[in-house]
A and B are shown apart, each in its own frame.
Chain A
């Protein structure tokens, strides 16, 4: 009896969480007439798959998704590389002002992009980067949080390991690529997932540094797809599904990593 009750509560909550997603998928497969019809259609008996090709080609979702992926991959790779490099310096090298520089890295976490966005937009315009991929990526190629996270796992490494490597005559490059990075892999994966989500979901920044449709990312594409025109509303739904699909697939494939990444990411202040 209690088990039944538990399943009931779980299912009720699951239904609430899933309902908006479910209805979006259903509506993407209905005709505008069916969507407006009352009582509402809650299951597509004659799915209209062509809404997806309309959204993909006429709604340019294909192009927008490609842009989002390009930008996201550049940002993720950039953040991982600069974070590993800086973390390595902080953890294994001696140099003047190391502590001060590390504090500067931490301080960047106190200045969210929502505070500096318009000044940065002016900078980008001045650099002549408005409406370029440079504007969409370069400001995000480093992260204080990432350097901090990876430094932590470098420091957790047993000291003798480092000494052994030095005795062995292994240079810094070899030690970094053969020992340090492989051992820090969980943190690196967590950082990659976290920055993937952050980069893919960006909204404010791409909105203010691009107006060329060919550079539009999928999040901004949604802004223009969100038409109030009722006769295309099924296409809006299809576009929304297409925009959300990549992260859903990632969620299903990498649930474990994702949870790690997001919980580590949340440690950010």
Chain B
């Protein structure tokens, strides 16, 4: 009596396990081939010097190459450029998004139209945004060139002093929609009477905003800062479309430097080292995020 039942229970467990594996298998295969394998391969590639001419054997260099690339002035320039780009784009985007979200949170007639307008840049891809500004900054016919009184001068994008700021500006604009949406979602969690109290004009409005509303919004802001920074460290499209890393490598951010190393300099080893560096940065930012998340959870308890 009991033996067949036990056997059938076991058969059911085996069947359940097989079903489980079958359901996770497709995703696991994709991850194996396109996430874990290339990740491991990158670390390994970093140990080998890429030969100057294709076809020659790779030379094992142990951590020599890591050291050489990571201490090179070129890497330092890329890292500095990327950090400046992150610092220029992320906080500005968040502050502007927050400002728009606070303004659009009011009960006013027609406010939905403003909300739609404020979210609108979420519909522009980085390529769309870049091409729009590339044309607006055209040295001959660009409208911004004209308004900035720079006609007859090289485009802002070709000016070593301005290129990175121009690229940052385009990025901020493109991210405004997403920033607005995130901050609005955060504001939904703040009780209305608190917000209204902070809105009352006159003395105390600012301090109420800072002391009452901000703490409630701080999880959203922290979170947007970290995620925004991770994404900004991965910037590529706007660089490729606007400046190709130039002028004078002033916009040669990490991912563009990787692309350049592989597809122009034929130097996979160097790109691999850069990719490991970018991974380390992503990892640190993610760990900070997890730490904050943990703290938030304990606060709530």
Point out residues on A near B: beta carbons under 8 Å. 2-3, 6-7, 9-10, 13-14, 17-18, 20-21, 23-24, 27, 32, 35-36, 38, 40, 82-83, 85-86, 88-90, 93-96, 98, 101, 104-105, 108-112, 114-121, 123, 138-139, 141-144, 147, 172, 197, 200-201, 203-204, 207-208, 219-220, 222-223, 225-226, 228, 230, 233, 236-237, 240, 243-244, 247-248, 250-252, 255, 258-259, 262-263, 266-269
- Tell me whether B24 and A85 are in contact (CB under 8 A): yes
* B271 lies within 8 A of chain A by Cβ: yes
- Tell me whether A203 and B23 are in contact (CB under 8 A): no
Q: Pick the contact of B34 from A104, A123, A197 — CB < 8 Å? A: A123
Residue on B nearest A13 in the bound complex, by CB: B100
Residue on B nearest A98 in the bound complex, by CB: B20
0/1 per residue, B212-247, Cβ < 8 Å to A? 000000000001101100100010110011000000
Residue on B nearest A21 in the bound complex, by CB: B120
- Tell me whether A9 and B103 are in contact (CB under 8 A): yes
- Tell me whether A114 and B138 are in contact (CB under 8 A): no
In Å, the complex CA distance between A141 and B30 comes to 7
Question: Chain A interface secondary structure, helix, strand, loop or mixed?
Answer: helix
- Tell me whether A105 and B124 are in contact (CB under 8 A): no
Q: Pick the contact of B127 from A144, A201, A250, A258 — CB < 8 Å? A: A201
Q: A23-B136, A104-B28, A251-B119 are in contact. Are A116 and B143 (CB under 8 A)?
A: no
In Å, the complex CA distance between A123 and B40 comes to 13
Residue on A nearest B16 in the bound complex, by CB: A93
Q: Chain B residues near A226 (CB, 8 Å)?
A: 130-131, 134-135, 241
Q: A228-B138, A250-B123, A251-B119 are in contact. Are A38 and B146 (CB under 8 A)?
A: yes
Question: Chain B interface secondary structure, helix, strand, loop or mixed?
Answer: helix
Name 7 extra pairs, CB < 8 A, besides A14-B117, A203-B126, A244-B128.
A40-B146, A89-B21, A110-B283, A144-B27, A233-B138, A251-B120, A252-B116
* B47 lies within 8 A of chain A by Cβ: no
CB distance from B44 to the nearest CB of A (A): 10
Q: A3-B108, A119-B42 are in contact. Are A13 and B103 (CB under 8 A)?
A: yes
* B106 lies within 8 A of chain A by Cβ: yes
- Tell me whether B41 and A10 are in contact (CB under 8 A): no
Q: Chain B residues near A143 (CB, 8 Å)?
A: 27
Residue on A nearest B170 in the bound complex, by CB: A20
Residue on B nearest A35 in the bound complex, by CB: B141
Q: How many A-B residue pairs have CB under 8 A?
A: 265
- Tell me whether B128 and A243 are in contact (CB under 8 A): yes
Of the listed residues B28, B36, B38, B140, the one surrounded by the most CB atoms of chain A closer than 10 A to its CB is B38
Q: Chain B residues near A120 (CB, 8 Å)?
A: 34, 38
What 5 A-B pairs are tightest by C-beta distance, nearest first?
A142-B27, A119-B38, A95-B20, A95-B17, A116-B38
- Tell me whether A208 and B103 are in contact (CB under 8 A): no
Of the listed residues B16, B103, B111, B123, the one surrounded by the most CB atoms of chain A closer than 10 A to its CB is B123
Q: A88-B23, A116-B35, A223-B241 are in contact. Are A203 and B185 (CB under 8 A)?
A: no
Q: A203-B127, A222-B128 are in contact. Are A142 and B17 (CB under 8 A)?
A: no
- Tell me whether A269 and B124 are in contact (CB under 8 A): no
Q: A17-B120, A142-B31 are in contact. Are A114 and B173 (CB under 8 A)?
A: no
Stretch of B62-70, B71-79, B83-91, B175-183 at the chain-chain interface = B175-183
Q: Chain A residues near B132 (CB, 8 Å)?
A: 20-21, 24, 240
Q: A6-B108, A118-B259, A203-B237 are in contact. Are A85 and B116 (CB under 8 A)?
A: no
- Tell me whether A93 and B20 are in contact (CB under 8 A): yes
* B60 lies within 8 A of chain A by Cβ: no
Of the listed residues A93, A123, A268, the one surrounded by the most CB atoms of chain B closer than 10 A to its CB is A93
CB distance from B11 to the nearest CB of A (A): 14
